[in-house]
Chains A and B, each alone.
Chain A
Amino acid sequence: MRDAELIKVFNRRALLVAGGELFLFSILAGRLYQLQILDSEKYKKLSEKNSVRIKLLPPPRGIIADRFGVELAVNVNSYGIQMIPEEVTAQGLTVEEILNRISELIPLTEKEKEKVLKNVKRKRAFFPVFVKNNLGWNEMAKIQVNNLDFTGVYVEEGKRRHYPFDEIAAHVIGYVSDVTEQELKNDPSPILQLPDFKTGKAGIEKLMDKELRGEVGETIQVVNATGRVIETLDDKKKKAVAGERINLTIDKRLQEYAYNRIKDESASAVVMDIYNGDILMMISVPSYNPNIFLDEDVSAKEFEKLFTNPRHPFINKAIEGLYPPGSTFKMMTALAALADGKLNANTKINCAGHMDYGDGRYHCWNTAGHGLLNLEQSLLHSCDIFYYTLATKVSMDVIQDMAYKFGLGDYTGIELANEKKGQVPGRDWKRNYKSEAWYTGDTITASIGQGYTLVTPLQLAVMTSRIANGGFAVKPRIIKNKNDSNIIFPSLNIDPHHLNMVKKGMFSVVNKPNGTGKTAFFDYHGNHMAGKTGTSQVKRITREERARGVIRQEDLPWKYRSHALFVGYAPYKNPRYAVSVVVEHGMSGSGAAAPIAKDLMMKTLELYL
């Protein structure tokens, strides 16, 4: 310590080292400032994403059941592989690479891969995307075992829509399928972002889609950096709210019966409660199995076959099929004439098989003629001349008004998508659509439900119900609402005598041995049906054809054959139910439609009386 210079050096150097240490401390402090103040927000976000992940819980879709609670659309368990694109790309892998890795364990077709890539592009990066659905146990286990290698890939137990009764009520229930681009664009609701979310595409599934969806729940999962779930915070869970349960007015038993009865036809039928409007059965055939939209094994070929089928399996003919009502319209003409005072109980009109009016000659379906007929007999024989004659006396306005009152040519308001309006032509209609004046000749054609008049089978059922219930504007409904059991429909202000005359005619049609509708006759414990047949031409019979003699319908190609219609209600004495049947190109109402109506009504009475 005697070396003074050494002490000087020591002191100086010690201070330098202290200064250096101070400098390094300031570097650390600066770095802290950078990390904890400047970039803090960024790291806070990263840290939150790091630790907890909000997992969306898809709500179970609402159950659709029949009027007695038999479930027609349910949810079943299914396993699927999901991927969160963000987590995959975070580890430097592309979605393609991870798909290739997955396909080493579970075969993925190119198409499936493409679908995944498409979904990855259009959805937000932190939303899971389905890779493959409906996996078996073995496949699922393979993925689970290799979980470590597949960051961002998860096996999900989910629910899948299932329709246990396949085709029988396909058109009423509809089906669900993947969310379309259009829906994503128009509907901002985040539920659509869920992986494998399906929306209703037809029927109740489409119309009531919002109600059936329910509310998304969420659960908070604690995950580590590899994305593996460490724990699920169950008490922070927001449960998914299941979609509304929808009870239909449909009776599954009747529906099933009807499907089996007519499945080989191209036809539709409706059975309706005439007082409260409950649609007990609504069938359209050929039908389709709504499960095919959820089954990934169904080939494109099968779909194409369905889509190109000339009998249009995807169309609900009961509300989307438009047919000339044919003779089933005669009740409207009769009621219009009665209301207009041009027809009464004593009116008799002679049928000579044809009638000349203006430049035209109008034929009865029975070219031999029916002779002198009153209203009841005109319905019984379904004589055309009787109504042609009425048409020359009654304005089309009156007939049109009557048809509207009974629900033809307008939406019935049924809770189903894609209902068609149909049309009951009149002066305004022809001026607007044809730019022509309305001639009495048009009224003549319209009086027997030919020409421009187009109605749906449901409208026919509504018309029949309103006749049967004594002239009340009953509206059809297919969703059973607990609160509307005592709903009262307004009166149509139809003279009950007029209605009774028509009803009597309709009774004769079915129950008289020479009635055109006798093929619908039954006696169910003394209960009988009243009804009316209809055979509506698809193709106008030309003068030349008539000159050559009437061509037998059987000789025509299927698509030119006449449609067969039948409307009816029962029991005649104490009416409860109305039925309408349309068999496309069934050739004759009495031959094709009436027997079906008979069976359906018998079954209905069997179930409810």
Chain B
Amino acid sequence: MLDYSVMKKSDRMNVFSKFLYLNWKLVFLILCVCSVGIMILYSAGKAECPDAYKCMISYGSWSPWALSQIPKILIGFLILFVVAVIDLKVWVKYAYWIYGVSVLLLIGVMFFGHVGMGAQRWLNIGFMKIQPSELMKIALVLALAKYFAALSINEIHSNYYLLFPAFLVLLPVGLVLQQPDLGTAMTLVMVSAIVFFIAGVQMWKFGAILLVVLLSFPIIWKYGLHDYQKQRIVIFMNPEKDIMGSGYHITQSKITLGSGGFWGKGYLNGTQSHLNFLPEKQTDFIFTMFAEEFGMFGCLCLFALIMAVLWQCYRIAFVSRNNFGKLLTLGLAANFFIYFFINTAMVMGLLPVVGVPSPLLSYGGTAMMTLLLGFGLIECCYVHGDMLISSKSDYL
């Protein structure tokens, strides 16, 4: 016998009504960020042009980046919608599977991966190249959310129950470090820490881990880091030391940012980025280019936009009635934020250049799609926010 009064709304919804019930504010905000990305990619493009001077004043072109980014965004949104309307319980059920597949892909990269930018990150799966480490970020949050959602407060407080999630974290981190990809490893660790934290793991345990890491840093420095990674850190400490060499990126990025001033040089008028002073302007340094053309004012507006995205995520987490949804939403939001923070701080010279693109802004498919996949999961949590996932059995 069905009791409709206790039956939740989401149980009654079909795929189409779920689609209508999506948090469209969040979708809109994400679309805004993606549009900003397209706008900058358009500015970064420079078409072949016979008259050199005219090209200089009329920079901006759909090729080679802006136009080819659009289908990636569209595919991303398609993924978002599909993921969002799938029953949340399905995600709970397959969380570990997804995690497992991601780990296998990471291992696959070690053997069949493409080498790019001094690291083995790419896996060619026929029609496209993917970066399993990107997928790993989502999968790890999924797995951790599933694990912690099933625990009681007492269990969370016991060390024994932390062994398994610690293993969940360290396995991909180890694999990513092998590539080597310091940026992604850092992100994985930080996102996991936030999930652990929100789940209720005691504060002192974080302090203890931090202490251990700091104490073991000299050993990691000596044995754990590649030369180029060490170099990056050294340069980060003192970029002026090597202006024309590796410190070049940071110095040029700072010049580009700083020269933008408060109002910026105006859209399509950035000189630094257009004249190729700025390296990888379409990927890692896209924020710098934005900052040059739109100034501090534009940057603060962009921050506000990112914060609005995060705000929507928090609202979804708070109204969600299941622990899995809360943890998953905040974990993925944290992933998005950390992504953004590391990239922005990096181009501003606050963090070493670790090769993290700007989320939703940078040119590239995998990052865009996995990020939108993440937002899809968040939307899914929203749609199924009234779902009660109570018994432990639901999590198995």
A interface residues (Cβ-Cβ under 8 A, vs B) = 1-3, 5-6, 9-11, 13-14, 16-18, 21-22, 24-25, 27-29, 31-33, 35-37, 39-40, 42-44, 46-48, 50-51, 90-92, 151, 222, 224-226, 230-236
Contact = CB atoms under 8 A, between A and B. Distances in A.
Given A3-B152, A51-B271, A222-B56, A35 B321 contact: no
Contacts of B142: none
The size class of the interface chain B forms with chain A is 35 or more
Closest 6 A/B residue pairs (Cβ): A43-B258, A47-B259, A36-B296, A9-B200, A231-B52, A35-B258
Interface string B352-381: 000000000000000000000000000000
Interface of B: 52-53, 56, 152-153, 156, 194, 197-200, 242-244, 248, 252, 254-262, 271-272, 275-277, 291, 295-296, 299-300, 303, 306-307, 310, 314, 317-318, 321-323, 326, 330, 334, 337, 341, 344-345, 348-350, 388, 390
Given A224-B275, A226-B244, A230-B275, A35 B198 contact: no
A328 to B, nearest CB: 68
Given A10-B323, A25-B307, A37-B261, A233 B256 contact: no
**Residue from B262, B275, B330, B344 having most chain A Cβ neighbours under 10 A:** B275
Contacts of B56: 222, 231, 233
Contacts of B307: 22, 25
A222 B52 CA distance: 10
B272 A51 contact: yes
Contacts of B198: 10, 13-14, 17
A6 B272 contact: no
**Residue from A17, A36, A230 having most chain B Cβ neighbours under 10 A:** A36
B52 A17 contact: no
Contact of B388 (A1, A90, A225): A1
B353 to A, nearest CB: 15
Given A13-B198, A28-B344, A47 B321 contact: no
Contacts, number: 156
B326 to A, nearest CB: 6
A120 to B, nearest CB: 20
A225 B318 CA distance: 50
A224 B279 CA distance: 11
B259 A43 contact: yes
Contacts of B242: 92
15 contacts: A1-B323, A6-B152, A13-B197, A13-B200, A14-B317, A31-B348, A31-B350, A32-B300, A39-B258, A40-B261, A43-B255, A46-B255, A47-B272, A230-B275, A236-B53
Contact of B255 (A1, A50, A91): A50
A11 B341 contact: no
Contacts of A48: 259, 271
A33 B296 contact: yes
B276 A25 contact: no
Given A28-B344, A46-B258, 11 more contacts: A2-B390, A6-B152, A10-B323, A13-B199, A16-B197, A21-B341, A31-B348, A36-B257, A40-B258, A46-B259, A92-B244
A32 B296 contact: yes
A92 B243 CA distance: 9
Contacts of B348: 28, 31-32, 35
Nearest to A22: B307
B65 to A, nearest CB: 20
Contacts of B334: 17, 21
Contact of A28 (B197, B303, B330, B388): B303
B291 to A, nearest CB: 7
Contacts of B194: 17
B193 to A, nearest CB: 10
Contacts of A47: 255-256, 258-259, 271-272, 277
Nearest to B253: A35
Contacts of A37: 261-262, 296
A37 B194 CA distance: 33
B337 A21 contact: yes
Contacts of A43: 254-259
A233 B53 contact: yes
Contacts of B260: 36, 40
A29 B53 CA distance: 35
B262 A235 contact: no
A236 B57 CA distance: 13
Contacts of B275: 50-51, 222, 224, 230
B330 to A, nearest CB: 6
A4 to B, nearest CB: 10
A226 B345 CA distance: 26
Contacts of B248: 225
A43 B265 CA distance: 13
B261 A44 contact: yes
Given A51-B275, A90-B244, A233-B53, A17 B330 contact: yes
A2 B194 CA distance: 23
A47 B291 CA distance: 14
